[in-house]
Amino acid sequence: MSDPIALFDVKAQQSLIRADLDRRIAAVLDSGRFINGPEVAELEATLAAFAGCGHAVGVSSGTDALQIAMMAEGIGPGDAVFLPAFTYTATAEVPLVLGAKPVFVDVAAESFNLDIADLERRIALVKAEGRLRPRAVVGVDLFGLPADWQAIEATCAREGMFALDDAAQAFGAALDGRRLGRWGHAAALSFYPTKTLGAYGDGGALLTDDADRAELYRSLRTHGEGKTRYEVERTGMNGRLDTIQATILLAKMSLFEGELAQRRRLGAAYDAALAGRVGVQVAQQGAESCYGLYTIRLPDPEARGRVQQALSAQRIGSGIYYPKALHHQPAYATHHAASIAGGPPPLPVSEALCHQVLSLPMHPYMSEADATRAAETVLAAL
């Protein structure tokens, strides 16, 4: 039987950088600077340089990155935050934690990213009702593919809204030659272990070209402190990035460009085998995915079940991201129903995708032959 192909592989990389990891972690242990050690600042400079943006601020998770960004804008009760219905829960829970109202927007059938026409429609409905203030749009670069940031930025500029890029799955992706981190007012990153750049635990960062926002993010991540530790200027949170996680990410950055290149080769191999035969994520012109996940769209749940069973029989990993649209989740259903008077418009694409999508193995330590084998297994099952 052929070798197994894991959906993710967080171990293969380690053998290439183990000596550097051991050296860097030992240096942190020797220094005793476990919180905000110099490695955090070094990582921030490295991330900003990679993305081509002015500032990076390390934080404790991708979720906390979203929360700090919204706290900095003063988003709270009475505010409407527009975000896709087809994404991970973190994007929706943060507005609710801050007292704001998430307004779910449908996604485009081709890209699985925010549908701009539907976004415009829901903004108009909220404005006409006058009960909530349209304050922010959170665009998610789903599975590593950039959202339509030109359109999102234009909408936010016209409406005076904050544009926040949830790039948790997409560090390394680019649009029109600009890497994510330079689109919107700020971008939130996650360093969860399975992300394109993953730590050995939780971690995240905020990227921005705005020096004032970056300074505010640094204050908010450390309990709202001012120029000194015990000068508290605002209500903040404990959202710092651990020094050990920063040093692990620095070691991994030495491999990152090569890993991105391999992810794109794998994406091309999948596309060559599958495009035109099953639904695949379609990039808009000028968008370059980093393939955080490679996700296909199958005709129906029954076909997905057959494909997943066939993959499992061949020891090929797969995953379903996401099995339930956010507006159907118990935590959000009531808020969704009340977000627009008379009930919000339906979200048919988001609902359909939940029953059709399937993610195939995608990590830089598998081969193009592995991708072809997985694709052929999918097609044989259909």
DSSP letters of 321-372? Answer: S-SS-GGGSHHHHHHHHTSSTT-PPP-HHHHHHHTTEEEEP--TTS-HHHHH
Residue 343 confidence (pLDDT):
87
pLDDT in tens, 302-326: 999 999 999 999 999 999 999 999 9
**What are the angstrom distances between the C-alpha of 125 and each of 92, 118, 138?**
19, 11, 18
Give the list of residues 6+ apart from residue 358 with CB closer than 8 angstroms, or none: 295, 296, 298, 304, 307, 308, 318, 319, 320
pLDDT in tens, 18-76: 999 999 999 999 999 999 999 999 999 999 999 999 999 999 999 999 999 999 999 99
pTM, rounded to two decimals:
0.97
Q: Which of 132, 128, 111, 112 is nearest to 120 (CA)?
A: 128
* Domains of the chain with bracketed CATH: 14-252 (3.40.640.10), 255-381 (3.90.1150.10)
Q: Each residue of 71-100: pLDDT tens digit?
A: 999 999 999 999 999 999 999 999 999 999
Comparing CA positions, the residue from 142, 140, 144, 175 lying closest to residue 291 is 144
Q: How far apart are CA 267 and CA 135, in angstroms?
A: 36
Q: Which two tokens stand for residue 200?
A: 């050995």
Alpha-helical (H) ranges within 34-138 are: 38-51, 62-72, 90-97, 116-129
